[in-house]
């Protein structure tokens, strides 16, 4: 969780070295988060606090990645799309907390797993291009020409759609959480 703001602050600088360091920070945070969860499950040393904190740390890192994107180009990565992604993830996190208080453990939906994979893949490519675009010369011109094809805009729209869809699916599948005991 502590690495997410460091990544964010470094990435939004228009300095090639700082942006490169930010990608290393992002990658280290993602890799250590993965191995932390893997080993906790493998050696059965999961704690209630860890089970709560791990997805929260994932969200911080993902949010930081998405928040960086409009700083690159708000026409390719519109703020409204970032806001929808953040709202979806906060809503589902709150739904999980609410369900847990009611003694219900929400199973991760397949579409949520797809959403996470799509988001992370997209973020890695978009952030890498955000770094590469700072290069000058022919290579920089090549990267810029790819960047200007609006591929990232349409990819952002697809990521936003998948994210919102998976959130709506969670709400529909778990609508019984919102029913009062007296209406059953």
Q: How far is the C-alpha of 102 from the C-alpha of 179, rounded, in Å?
A: 12
Residue 152 within any structural domain of the chain = yes
Residue 169 within any structural domain of the chain = yes
pLDDT at position 152 is: 96
Q: What is the mean pLDDT of residues 69-96?
A: 94
Q: How far is the C-alpha of 181 from the C-alpha of 165, rounded, in Å?
A: 28
Q: Pick the closest to residue 119 from 158, 80, 91 (CA basis).
A: 158
Residue 83 within any structural domain of the chain = yes
Q: How far is the C-alpha of 115 from the C-alpha of 45, rounded, in Å?
A: 27
pLDDT at position 96 is: 85
Residue 52 pLDDT class (50, 70, 90 cuts): low
Residue 184 within any structural domain of the chain = no
Residue 92 within any structural domain of the chain = yes
pLDDT at position 184 is: 46
Please check the confidence at residue 130 and state whether its pLDDT lies above 50. yes
Q: Count of domains in the chain?
A: 1
Please check the confidence at residue 51 and state whether its pLDDT lies above 80. no
Task: Look up the pTM and report it.
Answer: 0.85
Please check the confidence at residue 140 and state whether its pLDDT lies above 60. yes
Residue 80 within any structural domain of the chain = yes
Residue 173 within any structural domain of the chain = yes
Q: What is the mean pLDDT of residues 143-160?
A: 94
Residue 106 within any structural domain of the chain = yes
Residue 180 pLDDT class (50, 70, 90 cuts): low
Range of the domain at 94: 3-177
Q: How far is the C-alpha of 178 from the C-alpha of 184, rounded, in Å?
A: 11
């Amino acid at each position: 969780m502590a690495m997410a703001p460091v990544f964010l602050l470094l990435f939004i600088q228009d300095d090639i070295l700082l942006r490169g360091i930010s990608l290393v920070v992002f990658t280290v945070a993602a890799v250590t988060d993965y191995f932390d969860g893997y080993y906790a499950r493998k050696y059965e040393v999961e704690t209630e606090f860890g089970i709560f904190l791990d997805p929260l740390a994932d969200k911080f890192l993902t949010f930081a990645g998405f928040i960086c994107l409009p700083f690159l180009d708000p026409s390719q990565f519109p703020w409204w799309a970032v806001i929808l992604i953040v709202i979806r993830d906060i809503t589902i996190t709150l739904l999980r907390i609410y369900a847990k208080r009611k003694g219900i453990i929400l199973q991760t939906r397949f579409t949520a797993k797809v959403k996470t994979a799509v988001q992370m893949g997209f973020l890695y490519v978009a952030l890498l291009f955000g770094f590469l675009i700072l290069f000058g010369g022919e290579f920089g011109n090549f990267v810029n020409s790819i960047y200007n094809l609006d591929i990232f805009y349409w990819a952002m729209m697809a990521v936003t759609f998948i994210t919102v869809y998976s959130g709506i699916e969670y709400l529909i599948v778990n609508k019984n959480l919102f029913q009062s005991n007296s209406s059953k």
